[in-house]
Structure 1
């Protein structure tokens, strides 16, 4: 089946996805969900390594590769490289996450391709960057979480470093790569020229440290683990009501006063231990203990309703099943449905932003490896006999 755009927003663009595992496929999924014709190039079945996310029929792989088409090409054969270059010649974007040297060895690096295709936007995602002392190191999410500082500020105080429960470095690198591609495509409208877009797991992780980087670079302060409590805004964190835990966020003096009043502790507003931000920081443990003591008299539902009514942010701490039972989540329409020919109906989380005129939809389940090879080669002008010969020679 020819390209069916998931949105009209990017339907005019073709993207060649040469990536594996998560960061690169995430970048390409972002583009596919907004309508780009993303063609995933994979190794033939008989050559493949462990390059999938839990197997091609697994939920992770199905989520990551929806709205794409798939071809297989043997890039160890000259005919496979020739077919890839012919495919790239029809594209606006190439995305790769090879080791930095591989693309040069294959002759599909940006400089080589741009000689004949100056408008090409070429995106590279790596562990540590394309050059530098660590460029050749293998890069994985947890390594970047550690090197980028995230694990040093995550977890309870003095328990040792803790990884975040999602591959956040991978995901952010993919999303930043997609953003960089879109910026380059916008700039191309003015200049007519493409460019090389580069990001890495390490760069993305450090950028995501946000105010923690500013605390060091501007203030010279090294952040430590603060557990479930915000390091600078107090009281903000996890508190325990009679029937379980919830989050409360108190930012600024006005909300602090509302919080105290709603909790039934108006005297805290002028209490010298708590009356301003510095004093609450010094007396954080005493304040948190006093808050939990008062919260223990009522269930979470009571406090969540009361605090939010009075303008104090407060909410449940959900597991994944509870997330999708939330009335607001249902209202937002985050979950979309698609049908896989071999796996049947599926539900996945769609894009987390809405565009009024050009919405993103799920129109195609993740493809089987090489499902669209003959279709795409036909679009390149290869005759059926030529395609059959390539198949017989193991080129795909």
Structure 2
């Protein structure tokens, strides 16, 4: 297994460094034929866990997210830089026979292939699992699509926002009297990436028992349904279509953001005893005694009335004062922080969640680290997101190509549209 280009990992926060930590997937090889976010985030997660990931991109521009800016940092957009660290980049035209042959040479020594080819595209046909499994019976293949393998929408392309709209998330997000709103994160893409990572690691465990790989599929649509959890089960039980609640919770009250004199903060009351304590701290014992509010089920039914009472009280003081008072009294509470506050906080620093790695063109590059510790160590940010074709010679020469062949394989050609 070839070493990734050497870079220095310098933690700009406290927290135990991961020097020498290889990760539980060390020794596994992953070929990444995906682009945009769901596939690349899956493969970055596998890379963070120690796998050697080779990202294959078209010579003419590579992954489209390299241009999804501003902002840019060096030659690439920060969107691309967010989901492609710890990988190597090779440029190949997969529509050419030579490019396909180079990928097959990679697959001969690979454990995992991740792709998100458009349904019905020529590449989906060329790299069909039944063909691959004949040549590489131990290969685990993950295919990520917008809507899944079956059903009337199976051939539809899709982006994160399409998934959020079509799978119901936007219908649940926003103020009750306002328009539907997408989630602040790309939950369609990221949901598929997280479930895809779980699928791949599970298939690798099963391969240890059976000796064979398998074909895994997931989609932005399916994983959004899986994340509905309590919303879906409530709908199944009642038949009632849920509506937007702003920051409110469908099953708990008070459990949302409230306005103070100088901004917003969150109160999260999880039981009746906690509500009684809140009322004592707010010097409103009458609310705890009101039969409309005594039990959580009653508070949910009279959400609007209770929130009006609470807002009248909470608007009389500042976020800082309310948070200090309620926190001291044991009521879960927090100000709503911006990213400047989040990444400047002592908690983020203590967890060591920000790492700095040297990028060959952008210089020092900050990255949000993998959020799971192993034996008290966090997986390392071993290398920066690669520049386009940065590892062409390293990877292709190891596959047996000479300099002339590498130059021919990695040259720029006009991409053919499917």
Query: Fold conserved (TM > 0.5)?
Result: yes
Q: Does 2:391 correspond to 1:372?
A: yes
CA RMSD, 1 decimal: 2.3
Q: Does 2:137 correspond to 1:118?
A: yes
The aligned counterpart of 1:90 is 109
Structure 1: runs of 5 or more not aligned: none
Q: Deviation string for 1:77-127 (max 9, x for gaps)?
A: 211111111111110000000012336665221111111211110000000
Q: CA deviation at 1:371?
A: 1.0
The aligned counterpart of 1:40 is 55
Equivalent pair of 2:62/2:388 in contact (CA under 8 Å): no
Residues 309 and 105 of structure 1: is their aligned pair in 2 closer, same or farther, counting only changes over 3 Å? closer
Distance 2:318 2:411 in 1: 68
Residues 91 and 309 of structure 1: is their aligned pair in 2 closer, same or farther, counting only changes over 3 Å? same
Give the length in aligned residue pairs: 395
SS in structure 2 of the partner of residue 12 of structure 1: coil
Distance 2:370 2:163 in 1: 25
Q: Deviation string for 1:16-48 (max 9, x for gaps)?
A: 000111111111111111111110000113x75
Between the two structures, name the one with larger relative contact order (CA 8 Å, sep ≥ 6): 2
- Normalised by the length of structure 1, the TM-score is 0.93
Equivalent pair of 1:74/1:395 in contact (CA under 8 Å): no
The aligned counterpart of 2:166 is 147
Q: CA deviation at 1:8?
A: 2.6
Question: After alignment, is 350-359 or 236-245 more displaced?
Answer: 350-359
Correspondences of 1:262-273 after superposition (within 5 Å): 262-273=281-292
Q: Deviation string for 1:211-262 (max 9, x for gaps)?
A: 1111112332321011121122011111122222100011111211221122
Distance 1:215 1:392 in 2: 55
Equivalent pair of 1:235/1:288 in contact (CA under 8 Å): yes
Equivalent pair of 2:41/2:83 in contact (CA under 8 Å): yes
Q: Does 2:259 correspond to 1:247?
A: no
Distance 1:57 1:6 in 2: 28
Which of 29, 38, 47 does residue 44 from structure 2 map onto? 29
The aligned counterpart of 1:2 is 3
Question: After alignment, is 198-207 or 96-105 more displaced?
Answer: 96-105
Distance 2:240 2:318 in 1: 38
Q: CA deviation at 1:352?
A: 1.6
Q: Does 2:223 correspond to 1:222?
A: no
Distance 2:321 2:412 in 1: 69
Distance 1:186 1:354 in 2: 20
Distance 2:410 2:293 in 1: 74
Question: After alignment, is 226-235 or 378-387 more displaced?
Answer: 378-387
Equivalent pair of 1:10/1:35 in contact (CA under 8 Å): yes
Question: After alignment, is 183-192 or 159-168 more displaced?
Answer: 159-168
